[in-house]
Amino acid sequence: MTRATRGKPAVRRLFDRLTRIRELGLVVAIAVLFGATGAANAGFLSAQSLRDIMLNASIIMLLAVGQTLVIVTRNVDLSVSSITGLTAFSSGVLLADHPGLPVVAVVAICLAIGATCGALNGMLVAYARVPALVATLGTLYVFRGVDYAFAGGRQVNAADMPAGFLSLGTRELAGIPILAIVAMAVLAAAGWVLANLRAGRELYAIGSHPEAAVLAGIRVGRRILIAFIVNGAIAGLAGVMWAARFGTVDATVATGKELDVVAAVVVGGVAIFGGSGTVWGAALGALLLSSIGSALAVLRVDSLAQYAINGLLLLAAIVLDRLLALRVGAALRRRRYARRRGPAAATAQPGGA
């Protein structure tokens, strides 16, 4: 056996491992994007530009983390933008009408509002057996309608909010925006739970095969309900961050952002059919899509092109996910066949000799 022949399986195994790390491809894509855009316009890599990119990506990144918890269970939540808008306006009203109210109390109230909205979604999906796409599409309009009724045409401006709260949208720690640190903290916590706790692994089991999860003793309905509640609470936190970031809030906050969130999650390698993916990939997908928007603005490309690019990335991610799923399925079938054939071959060999 030649050296090339011996080396080929090792190279193939290394290639197979690298192709399974979807996050690696996202890191390369982000590096290429930053390098190419920076070469065309050096201002894109300035400290202020990078800071703005982190701030713009932090809210979508946060929403993508919560959405991942739902999508891995083979569901989806389209109402996150409405929950974000409702809690953003609620936080603005609370701070404007009650100047002495602590920011921590405002955050707690918005988390509770978001969790309540998530619980409604979870009960519709887990117990009423309404398809998640239909249920959350309906609550998207319900929550937005509640937001419009609550706002009554009112707009809360930055001048109406405490300066200490607004400083959260501009303050930095070791050169990193506070909002980005909050998003990364939530990301790290969710990533650890999914990777290390039984509750996290059960979400993947539900998404991989719901019927098998039931037979394994997993309380599927309860886990799906919790996933929607946590997702709603994270959307509530995103609403507070939105108010701190932009200062001016009304009933139209975050309209249409649900599609950006789903695109970030799918581009980040989370299977739209559930069962696989990580919050780290979803966060990188959010960073990639936000960076594309900033790059197009710097290069003076029509903003409408961003929608086309996001759509192409979404389609490419779905196709790639499907191809990888087919490849993994074929590999598993070959492995099962090899295991069944092995003992038979071992038994037949002495007789044949």
pLDDT band (50, 70, 90) for residue 10:
low
DSSP class of 46 = S
pLDDT confidence of residue 315: 76
Helix (H) or strand (E) holding 172: strand 172-173
Q: What percent of the chain is modeled with pLDDT above 70? A: 86
pTM value is 0.85
Q: What is the mean pLDDT of residues 115-130?
A: 96
Q: For residue range 154-170, what is the model confidence (pLDDT) as tens digits? A: 999 999 999 889 988 88
Structural domain 26-34+42-299+309-318, CATH architecture: Orthogonal Bundle (1.10)
For residue 93, pLDDT over 50 is answered with yes
Return d(Cα 276, Cα 205) in angstroms, integer.
9
Degrees, nearest 5: CA angle 164-239-131: 165
Kindly indicate the confidence band of residue 96, based on its pLDDT and cuts at 50, 70 and 90. very high
Residue in 194, 214, 187, 153 with CA at minimum distance from that of residue 58: 187
CB contact at 8 A, 297 and 303: yes
Domain ranges of the chain: 26-34+42-299+309-318
Q: Among the listed ranges 26-30, 78-82, 304-308, which one has the minimum average pLDDT value?
A: 304-308
